[in-house]
Structure 1
Amino acid sequence: MTRDANRPLRICMISYRSNPHCGGQGVYVRNLARALTDLGHHVEVVAGPPDPLLDSAAKLTMLDCLDLYNAENPFRTPTVRELKNPINLLEWLSISTMGYPEPETFGYRAYSHLKNRVHEFDIIHDNQSLSYGLWALSRLVPTVATIHHPITRDRQIAVRSVRSFWKKVKHLRWYSFIGMQKRVVRRLPKFITVSEFSKTDIHAEFDVPAERFHVVPNGINTELFYPLPHIEREPNRLIVTNSADQPLKGLYYLLQAVHAISKQREIRLTVIGTPKEGGGIEKLVKKLDLGHIIDFTGRVSNEEFREHYAKASIAVVPSVYEGFGLPVGEAMASGIPVISTTGGALPEVAGDAAMMVPPENPEALAEAICELLDNPEKAKELGEAGYKRVQEQFTWKNAAEQTVAAYREAIRDHRKI
C-alpha cells in the first residue's frame, strides 16, 4: 500500500439542516465528524442552521441564510435588503407557496462558498442535500453523497396518511424538491447508504446502479447511551423517542396501542420531545383521552435521556419506515428491551435482539407490549442481547473506517476522469 493511500484526508462535509438533538441526519454529521477526526483526518463541516454542536476537532462553517425554520421566529418576513439576494428570494417564494427549498438553496450557497476553495479538500461528502450546487461541485472535486433513504418514501406515506385532496396537494408541493434530487443523483459517481434495505430502495426509486453504493451502517454513540443499573425500572412504563407528527414515524399507531392497553391494565408512556402545537399527535392524545398516562418530556439533557431509558420497562420504535433506525440502536445500547416494527431497515439493526411487529398495526404493537410486560425473563434476555449487538456491530469507529474507504475509492475514480 502506498504512502498516499494512508495519508490523512482533507474532508469537507456539507449538511443543509443538521439538528443534533433530533433526526438521524444531525446525529450522523456530529458523530461521523468526530469519528473521522479521531482517526486523524482533517474535517470541516459546512452547515445550515441549526448549529450541529460539533464535539470534536472538526472545523465548523455556518452559512448565512434566512433561517425561516428557526423555532424562536418561524416563517418570519425577510427584509427587502435580504430579498435582494436571488437565493434568499427563491427560498422565501418557495416557502410562501408551501414548498421546502432548503436542500436546493443550501446547495447554491455551498457552491458559492466552496467553488474557490476546492483545492483545500481531497473529498466533499454531502449529507443528502443532493442539490444542483453539489452537482456543480462534483465536477471540480471528488464527491460522495450519503443517502439515508429515498425521500420518495416519506412523500408516499405522507400523502397516504391524509384524506383531504388539498392536504395531499400540500404534501406533494412540500416534497417537490425530490425532482431535483432524482436528477442530481443520476449524475453523481459514488454514494454511501446506511443499510442494504436503503440500497435496494434507492436503486428502485432513483434508478441508480447498485454498484455505485457503499453500505456503511451508522454507529451508535455508546458514550451517550449506556445502561444505568443503579436505577430501577418502573413496571408498565414504555418509552418512545419520537414525538414528531410525521406519519413516517408511526407514533399515531403507538398511541392507539396504548389506548387499547389502558382499558385492560395500568400503562404509562414517556415520549421524548414535544408534539407540534395543534398537530395530529396533540389532537389524537386529546381524542383518546391519554393525557393522564403520557408524559411528553420536551427537550432533555443527555443525563436525563439516559435516566428515562433506565426507568422504562420497554422501548418501542413504531416507525412505518426507517432507512436505518437509530432509536433501535440507542435503546439497545441502553440495555432496555426493544419492540420494533419491521418498517424499512429496522430488522437489519435489531437482528434477533428485539421483538418485531408489522408496521401500521396498533393491534400487533399492543399484543407485543403486553407479552413482554408479562414475561420479565424474556425482556431481560432481549435487553442483554441488544446491548451486546450494539457493542459488536455498530460503532462510529467502524463507520468512519468504512467511510474513508469509500472516500479513497471516489478519489481514485475521479483522477481517472
Structure 2
Amino acid sequence: MDHRDGAGGAGGGPGRRVRAPGRREPRRPRRLSRPVRIALLTYRGNMYCGGQGIYAAYLARELRALGHEVHVIAGPPLPSLAPGIPLHEIPNQNVFGLPLAEWARTHDPRRLLVEPLSLWEAAVSRIGVFPEMQTFGVRLLLRWRALQRRHRFDVVFDNQCLSWGLLGLRATGVPVVSVIHHPLHIDREADFAIDARLKTKLKRTLYFPLWMQQQVARRLDRIVTVSEASRTEIERYFGIPEKEVAVVHNGTDAELFHPCPDVPKETDLVFVGRTEDRKKGIGTLLEALSLLPEHVTLKIVDGRIPENGLVPRLVRKFGLARRVRFQTRFLEIPELVREYATGRIAVVPSFFEGFGFPASEAMACGLPVVANAAGALPEVVGTDGSAGRLVAPRDPRALAEAVRDLLADPARLAAMGRAARARIVSTFRWDAAAARLAAVLEETVRAAHRRPR
C-alpha cells in the first residue's frame, strides 16, 4: 500500500470514496471460550486513503461477527465502521498534508506552540520526512494507559504502522501483532527506477521510515501478511523467516462489487489506481496502448492526477489524447462499480502488489484481468488463464499482445469474466480472512500468557 499523503493504495484511493461495510446476513458465530479484546490500530483510517482503510474496516466488522470485541484506534482521516464498533481517535494537525502556508489558512498556527509533536511534524515534513507513522505511535502510547485501564485489551493488531510506540505498548505486557501488506522498500525502489538522480534518492530515503519499521517488526510477537509474495519480500527486507510470517489473504466484498449488465461498454480497457505511484506501472500500460490499433481505448480512474503529472506527460509523449479517457473525481462505491462495468478488460500493470484490490474488485465485477505476473497478482488472478492473463512485468509488447488476443474473442472474454467473479466469491472472502486472522491472534494471546513475566 502506498503511504504517501493522499495516495491511494491498491484500489483504495484514486477516484473512489468508500462507505462503511454494512450489515450482512447473520451467520452462526464460531464457538469461543472467551471473546478476545482486540485493539485494531490504523494510523490513517479512511477507506479512500488506500487499501489499509478497506482492510481495517472489513476486518473489524468480521472479527466482531465472530464474537470478538474489537476497538479501532485510528488517526485522521477516520474510518467509517460498521455499527457497534467503537472508534478511538488519535488526532493530529495534518501539518504534513499541505504546504505550511496553505495549512495555516485553515488551522490555528498557535497550536504548534503548545503541541510539540505537531511542531516536530511541521519541521521535519518541510525537509521531506513523512512523520505520521512515528507520531501516531507516540500519541497512542501517551494515551495507552487510560485506554488499557478501561478496556483491558488482550492483543494489539497493528495495520502496518510499525512505530516505535508499539514497543512501548508491548512493554506493558500486551502482545502486539502487525500486518505488513508489503515492505515500503518496494515503493522506494520503484521511485528509484523511474528517477535515479541522487537528489531523488536522498528525498525518498528521507521520506520512508524503513529503518524504524525494520527494527520494530523484528521485536513484535507476530507478523501477518496478505500474500505469499509479500511473505517472501518480508524475509528479504526485514530478515524475518518466511515460516514465522502468517499469510492471511484479503477478502473482497462481492456484494458491493458485482456485474452491471445494464451498463453500456464505453472503453476497451479500464485502469483503477494511483497513477503517480510508480510501482503501478501506468507507463507500461500507456506504451502498450500505443502499440495497439487506434480503435482500442483506455479509461483511467484516478481522483488525483496532477495537471503536469506522469499520466499527462506520457499521454502527450505517445500521442494518445484521443484514446484515453479520465475519471478524476472521487466516487461512491456504486459509481466505481459502474466504472468497472464500462470496460471490457481490467488492466493491472503493477510491478508489485501486496494483494491487488483493483484486480480483485474488477474480477468481482465480472471483468477478466490482464495483469503483470508480479507480486501477489498471480495469487489473486490465478495462473491457469481462466480468469485473466498474466504477462511479463515491464513488457509493453507482451501486455499489448495479451490485450489484442482477448479483445479478438468476445465469447472468451465473457467466459473469463464469469470465471473471474466465481474465483473471488469462492476464494477471497472477508469472513474467511477474519477467521484465519482470529486464529493467529488467539494463539498469540495464549503464547503471551505462557511467556515468563
User: By the TM > 0.5 criterion, same fold?
Assistant: yes
How far, CA to CA, are the matches of 2:289 and 2:50 in structure 1?
Answer: 24
Partner of 1:117: 147
Partner of 1:255: 286
Partner of 1:184: 216
The question of whether the paired residues in 2 share the 8 Å contact of 1:68 and 1:74 is answered with: no
String of CA shifts for 1:37-86, please: whole Å, max 9, x gaps: 22232221111121222234211222111213557999625724324322
Q: How many equivalent residue pairs? A: 411
The question of whether the paired residues in 2 share the 8 Å contact of 1:241 and 1:271 is answered with: yes
- Within 5 Å, which residues of 2 pair with 1:221-236? 221-234=253-266
How far, CA to CA, are the matches of 2:372 and 2:217 in structure 1?
Answer: 29
Larger RCO, structures 1/2 (Cα 8 Å, 6+ apart): 2
Shift of the alpha carbon at 1:203? 1.2
- Within 5 Å, which residues of 2 pair with 1:221-370? 221-234=253-266, 237-261=268-292, 264-274=293-303, 275-297=305-327, 298-351=329-382, 352=384, 353-370=387-404
The question of whether the paired residues in 2 share the 8 Å contact of 1:244 and 1:276 is answered with: no
* Distance verdict in 2 for CA 1:295–1:51, change over 3 Å: farther
Partner of 1:397: 431
1:313 is paired with a residue of what secondary structure? Answer: strand
Give 1:89's aligned amino acid: L
- Within 5 Å, which residues of 2 pair with 1:80-119? 80-119=110-149
Give 2:253's aligned amino acid: N
The question of whether the paired residues in 1 share the 8 Å contact of 2:100 and 2:122 is answered with: no
How far, CA to CA, are the matches of 1:257 and 1:72 in structure 2?
Answer: 36
Shift of the alpha carbon at 1:30? 1.4
Shift of the alpha carbon at 1:168? 2.2
* Distance verdict in 2 for CA 1:73–1:291, change over 3 Å: farther
Give 1:346's aligned amino acid: L
How far, CA to CA, are the matches of 1:363 and 1:72 in structure 2?
Answer: 41
* Distance verdict in 2 for CA 1:109–1:75, change over 3 Å: farther
String of CA shifts for 1:119-152, please: whole Å, max 9, x gaps: 4212111000001001111222121100011111
Shift of the alpha carbon at 1:366? 1.2
The question of whether the paired residues in 1 share the 8 Å contact of 2:32 and 2:67 is answered with: no
How far, CA to CA, are the matches of 2:96 and 2:275 in structure 1?
Answer: 15
2:287 is paired with a residue of what secondary structure? Answer: helix
1:384 is paired with a residue of what secondary structure? Answer: helix
Q: TM-score, normalised by structure 1?
A: 0.93
Partner of 1:42: 69
Q: What RMSD in Å do the two structures reach over aligned CA positions?
A: 2.1
Stretches of structure 1 that go unaligned for 5 or more consecutive residues are: none
The question of whether the paired residues in 2 share the 8 Å contact of 1:69 and 1:75 is answered with: no
Structure 1 stretches of 4+ moved >4 Å: 69-75
Partner of 2:19: none
- Single out whichever of 53-62 and 352-361 deviates more from structure 2: 53-62
2:91 is paired with a residue of what secondary structure? Answer: coil
- Single out whichever of 90-99 and 76-85 deviates more from structure 2: 76-85
1:17 is paired with a residue of what secondary structure? Answer: coil
Check if 1:13 corresponds to 2:40.
yes
How far, CA to CA, are the matches of 2:113 and 2:203 in structure 1?
Answer: 25
Give 2:91's aligned amino acid: D
Stretches of structure 2 that go unaligned for 5 or more consecutive residues are: 1-29
1:46 is paired with a residue of what secondary structure? Answer: strand
